Each structure stands twice: as C-alpha cells, then as structure tokens.
DNA sequence: CTCTTGTTTCTCTAAATACAGAATTTTCAG
DNA sequence: CTGAAAATTCTGTATTTAGAGAAACAAGAG
C-alpha cells in the first residue's frame, strides 16, 4: 500500500473486511474506502498501484461502485484519463446504499412472499405455512413503510430526532416495549 | 425436497438466495426457512432428508443458527433426538438479527474508526483523512443511537408509528428534507 | 490515417468456501 | 458397564468466486 499512512491503511483494510460480510467484494470495498479518504480524485492506474491489485480488477470494481452510485467519474483539465472520487457526504452515501439494498433485497422478497400467498386456490396451501408467510409479509410491509418514512427525513432532522435522546418515541407516547 | 409443497419450496429457495446476499450460507438460510414454515420441530435427520444435504452440514448449520439465536433446541417426550424449531414471532426474530448485525458490523467499525482518530499525536494524521473519518464516525454514532432507540420501541408501537403514515416525523416537525 | 494511451473484456489460475462422507465422540437405555 | 443411537468433528473434494495477465477495443492527438 504504497504512499498510505498507517491510519489510512488500517481503515481501508477494515472496510474491506466489512464489505465481505455485506456480500461486497473485498477489492470493491477497499477501493471505495481509498477514494473516500483521498483529498483528490484518483485514476485507475493510481488505484492499481496503491492497492496493488490488477488493472482489470480495478476496472470491474469501479463499475460495481458506479452501479451502486457511490463514486463518480470526473475529468481533470488537461488529463485524458478517467478519475474517480467518492461521494463525500456520508449521510447521503448511506442513504443511497440503504435504498439500493432495499431494492435488491427487500423488494424481491416482498414479491416472492406475495406470489406465494396469491397461489391459485387449486394449489392447496398448508394452513401453518399460510399463517407464517402472512406474518412474514406483515413484517416486510412494516419495514418497507418505515424505510420510506425514514428516507423522507433530512439528515439534519434525523440528528435532531436522535438528540431527543430516546425522546422521539416518548414524545409520541410510543416508547415502552409491551 | 421431499414432502414440501411448491409454495414451501419456493419460499425456502428464495430465502436461501437472500441469505447468500447477506453473507449467510445458503444451507443455513434454507434450514431456517424450513423450520420457520413447519408446524412442529424437526430433528436433524428429517432436515437432512427434506433438504437433501449431508448430515454434517445440517449439524454445522444448526450451530450457526443457534449462535444467531433464532432457532431453539427442543426435546419431544419419548424421543431422544434433538429437535429444532424457529422463533415464531417474526418481529422478535428480526429484532435479534438486527442486534446481532449491529454487534458484528457496526460496533467493530466504530471501534476501528475511533482508534484511527485516537492516534498518538506523533503519528501525524493527514488533515483530509481526519476530516473524512470524523464525518464517518459521526454517521455511525448517529446510526448507533437511532438503533438503540428503535430497539426500545415495542413492535405494537412501531406499527402504530408506521400507521401515522409518514406522520410520525411530521408530528415532530421533522419531516421535510432540506 | 495511424500511433499512442487508456479502458474493457476474456481466459486461465489461485484462493476461499461449501459440502459430503468417514471417523470420532457423546449420550443414554438397559 | 455395555452397546446402540445420535451428534459432532475432521478430512478431502468440488464448486464458486476473486483476481491476474493477455488480448481486444476505443478514443484522441498529431
């Protein structure tokens, strides 16, 4: 990891590990971490050198990150090469990630469960199965709704809500676990 | 998948797929789905037959699910074998999963970032890096806080909050994205 | 038009992970 | 205690995924 301080290395390595647990390729996560820390956009060649991975690997990983929408292609004046920079606003970044995960995980599951329950009556559906699937559906619909609401709230207000220190729900009389 | 209806198969297969995206082994996820749908606890042998995987595989997967805390070992009267059942309450189940993920992913990251920022002054830390890491820390601390608050709210009240239909935040004057 | 520089795609290898089956250990009935 | 049933652990194989390097392709500059 040529040219990186120990702290930078530490963070990039950890981000790579975390990525793995999220079903995100290690190199992809590392590149993201690198771009996040850098003060200026890097080109693919630079990334290759710093992380010491193959050029092709960088190419594919970058495409993946662009699909997620959390890095951006920029052109520097007088330089023909593509340069890349990460979104800087962390809150915005995770907002995107969360929405993307919703789209890739929650939505398809909702669809499958609904289809399972919509079975044409001829295909007898076992009572227990039906009951369980309905409970599951209920949960996913709740999650979807909360997700949607959360996404409408600005970061600023989210912080305010958090600062209410457990109070947000209390104010609404919604706090105690029953 | 001997003895399962098409609907049951469909759900189990899908759950297996989803698991993969969450960094959870396919068999593990399938066993969980199976136990979730079943009206009674199954023993390892039965699981082996239904899902058609090796006995050892079932053994390991079950341990994993127990670590997550979402399946339970039960003994049936007059049967020496271990039987397993899934938690039935979906909300409770995801509460556990979420907490577990927090413990495994959020907490370690918080620790790493803090350690990165706590660097003894001798190890000069680059200004941009510092700034970015601080932003990241801020976000994770916010997430931690919101998580904690969410966990204190009962499912019942969560549903009520969702039913306020985007109203929860509005009531608090927190809605508009600015 | 063509040469250079940059980028992507393809193919092959290496590494990690999942899994089957055998071997071992544990548990309990008698 | 002993033997049979059950469960776990171990070991080797297969599948999957990551990634390197070569080759093909694209886009200007001159």
Better-predicted residue by pLDDT, B176 or B148? B148
Residues 75-94 of B with CB under 8 A from A: 88-91, 94
pLDDT number for residue A165: 65
| Interatomic CA distance for residues A145 and A150, integer angstroms | 9
| Interatomic CA distance for residues A31 and A27, integer angstroms | 6
* H or E element that contains A69: none
pLDDT in tens, B70-95: 999 999 998 999 999 999 999 999 99
Answer whether residue B149 shows pLDDT above 90. no
Shortest CA to C1' contact from B60: nucleotide? D8
Chain B positions touching A132 (Cβ under 8 A) are 36-37, 88
Answer whether residue B35 shows pLDDT above 60. yes
Taking CA–CA distances from B133, the nearest residue in chain A reads A37
Residue A7: which of B125, B138, B145 has the nearest Cβ?
B125
Closest amino acid to nucleotide D18 (CA–C1'): A25
Cβ–Cβ contact B135 with A under 8 A: yes
3-state DSSP assignment of residue A163: helix
Better-predicted residue by pLDDT, A175 or B81? B81
pTM score above 0.85:
yes
Answer whether residue B122 shows pLDDT above 70. no
Which of these ranges, B27-36, B101-110, B122-131, has the smallest mean pLDDT?
B122-131
Mean pLDDT value of segment B45-60: 96
pLDDT number for residue A120: 77
Answer whether residue B120 shows pLDDT above 80. no
pLDDT number for residue B174: 66
| Interatomic CA distance for residues A172 and A28, integer angstroms | 42
| Interatomic CA distance for residues A47 and A33, integer angstroms | 11
The answer to whether the CB of A51 falls within 8 A of the CB of A27 is yes
Closest amino acid to nucleotide C10 (CA–C1'): A56
B25 touches strand C (CB under 7 A): yes
- Print burial letters for B86-114: b (CB count within 10 Å at least 16), e (below 16): bbeebbebbbebeeebbeeebeebbebbe
- Which of B55, B57, B50 is closest to B34 using CA atoms? B50
| Interatomic CA distance for residues B41 and B54, integer angstroms | 19
Taking CA–CA distances from A155, the nearest residue in chain B reads B177
Mean pLDDT value of segment B55-60: 96
| Interatomic CA distance for residues A117 and A3, integer angstroms | 56
pLDDT in tens, A28-69: 999 999 999 999 999 999 999 999 999 999 999 999 999 999
Residue B46 CA and nucleotide D6 C1' are separated, in Å, by 13
Answer whether residue A77 shows pLDDT above 90. no
**Per the CB < 8 Å rule, is B112 touching A166?**
no
Strands in B42-43's sheet, in edge-to-edge order, are B42-43, B82-86, B71-75
pLDDT number for residue B128: 95
Place of tokens 């959390």: A70
Mean pLDDT value of segment B88-117: 94
**Per the CB < 8 Å rule, is B126 touching A157?**
no
Cβ–Cβ contact B98 with A under 8 A: no
pLDDT in tens, A83-120: 999 999 999 999 999 999 999 889 999 999 999 999 87
Which of these ranges, A11-15, A108-112, B1-5, B159-163, has the smallest mean pLDDT?
B159-163
**Mean residue pLDDT across chain B:** 90
Mutation to test the B interface, candidates A96, A107, A148, A172, most B Cβ within 10 Å: A172
Closest amino acid to nucleotide D17 (CA–C1'): A25
* H or E element that contains B71: strand B71-75
pLDDT number for residue A164: 76
- Which of B128, B140, B106, B102 is closest to A86 using CA atoms? B128
Answer whether residue A173 shows pLDDT above 80. no
């Amino acid at each position: 990891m040529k040219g990186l301080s120990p702290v930078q290395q530490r963070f990039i390595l950890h981000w790579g590990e975390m990525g793995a647990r999220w079903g995100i390729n290690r190199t992809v996560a590392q590149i993201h971490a690198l771009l996040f820390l850098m003060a200026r956009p890097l080109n693919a060649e630079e990334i290759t050198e710093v992380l010491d991975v193959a050029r092709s690997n960088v190419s594919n990983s970058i495409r993946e990150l662009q699909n997620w929408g959390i890095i951006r292609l920029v052109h520097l004046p007088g330089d023909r090469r593509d340069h890349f920079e990460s979104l800087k606003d962390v809150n915005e970044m995770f907002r995107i990630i969360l929405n993307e995960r919703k789209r890739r995980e929650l939505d398809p599951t909702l669809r499958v469960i609904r289809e399972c329950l919509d079975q044409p009556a001829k295909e007898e559906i076992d009572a227990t199965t039906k009951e369980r699937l309905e409970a599951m559906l209920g949960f996913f619909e709740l999650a979807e709704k909360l997700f949607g609401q959360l996404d409408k709230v600005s970061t600023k207000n989210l912080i305010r809500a958090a600062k209410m220190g457990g109070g947000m729900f209390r104010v609404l009389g919604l706090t105690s676990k029953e």
